Structure 1
């Protein structure tokens, strides 16, 4: 059995990949280059995690998406990335404003479509991704509605009816971290400490500690009262 994992190297996609590993799939992990600031660290993290999972790792360049990020002035490309306080992480109005500043035009739609083509080519029936409940509150392409409609398309757009899987879709960030630690113990693997969540490009696998993605990561470990070995600048 084969499966594709869309692996940015962040917490969500890392735990989704662990679940795919637990399910017994022969994995191919894909990291996309769309001109994001954090690309080097995303590749470092994804390569390391893929090696631990005994998965093939591919980097796919999306130059056209990088150009669209420039046109839309996406913060992940320009570096103009907003910060958010822990108190405002669950303030939907504030979170929606930060989301818009880091929104990549049609990113998941494009990445999952390309993943579907690769999955069909290698006869893989499933694509694992990190779609989850916490980010679905602000990112429309992280919702179950998006995933359900995408799977309707692959029923007709692929001969083997590739299916997008979102095993974290009912979880918030601390539940995802907890699941990750449980799977690490069960599988005898250690990958979470190599994951990279930050929107910025920093020294090797160092997190800024102030962008929204870092804040959600920090809060998850804090809620769980688990030691966070992540290296933060702040």
Structure 2
């Protein structure tokens, strides 16, 4: 019986690398993206490109209107996306986003009979997000084991975080070795409708530095 995994794919660099890693480990991958009211749809288009290019068994987009609660520069247009260095938990943090996303992924994993969920959280270049830490994933795993039929029956779904202790350069090196086409991805918090990056936000800064440190050509398309 083939191994199955639900892989959260945002359209960005990290999740594309995670999908490649899951495939390399022999998983049949069911990719999951969220239309949650984020600033631009370019990342959803990128997620679909990545899923298709990497041969996902099925790609699903779930609609959630997180703009109804706001609280983030990604879901509230009145909050500006910061450009340059930030400290502490930035305004691009979307309240409880990974908890919401993982919960839906957990439900789909039970439905398709997946043994694992892959998510590209990172605790090194993680921009201060509390739901990207190892402690959070450990706690979520404990909850998932208690909250699901699969967990109660001893078939719990493993939460896989292969990037959690890697630098951005390390992530790019791993993806490059697995032939990830990073030109398909969009990482920018405020990309234009054509998916071109601003080159100024925190996500762009981390991405640009990662390619430089990895010694890998940066295929990112920048506006202007």
Q: Normalization by structure 2: what TM-score?
A: 0.91
Q: Is the 8 A contact 1:126 1:164 kept in 2?
A: yes
1:140 alignment partner in structure 2: 130
3-state SS, counterpart of residue 208 of structure 1:
coil
1:57 alignment partner in structure 2: 59
Q: Which runs of 5+ in 1 are unaligned?
A: 89-93, 185-189
Partner residue of 1:171 out of 161, 166, 170: 166
1:95 alignment partner in structure 2: 87
Paired residues for 1:111-122 under 5 Å:
111-122=101-112
Partner residue of 2:28 out of 26, 29, 33: 26
Tell me, in whole angstroms, the C-alpha distance in 1 between the residues paired with 2:129 and 2:92: 10
Q: Normalization by structure 1: what TM-score?
A: 0.87
Q: Is the 8 A contact 1:135 1:142 kept in 2?
A: no
How many residue pairs were aligned? 214
Partner residue of 2:157 out of 155, 158, 162: 162
1:187 alignment partner in structure 2: none
Does residue 210 of the first structure (1) align with residue 200 of the second (2)?
yes
Shift of 1:137: 6.2
Does residue 78 of the first structure (1) align with residue 79 of the second (2)?
no
2:99 alignment partner in structure 1: 109
Shift of 1:204: 1.6
Shift of 1:83: 0.4
Shift of 1:66: 2.4
Moved over 3 A (4+): none
Structure holding more helix per residue? 1
3-state SS, counterpart of residue 30 of structure 2:
strand
Shift of 1:135: 3.8
Kindly report the root-mean-square deviation, in angstroms, between the aligned alpha carbons of the 2 structures: 1.4
Partner residue of 2:113 out of 101, 118, 123: 123
Shift of 1:103: 1.5
3-state SS, counterpart of residue 69 of structure 2:
helix
1:231 alignment partner in structure 2: 221
Q: Which runs of 5+ in 2 are unaligned?
A: 151-155
3-state SS, counterpart of residue 209 of structure 1:
coil
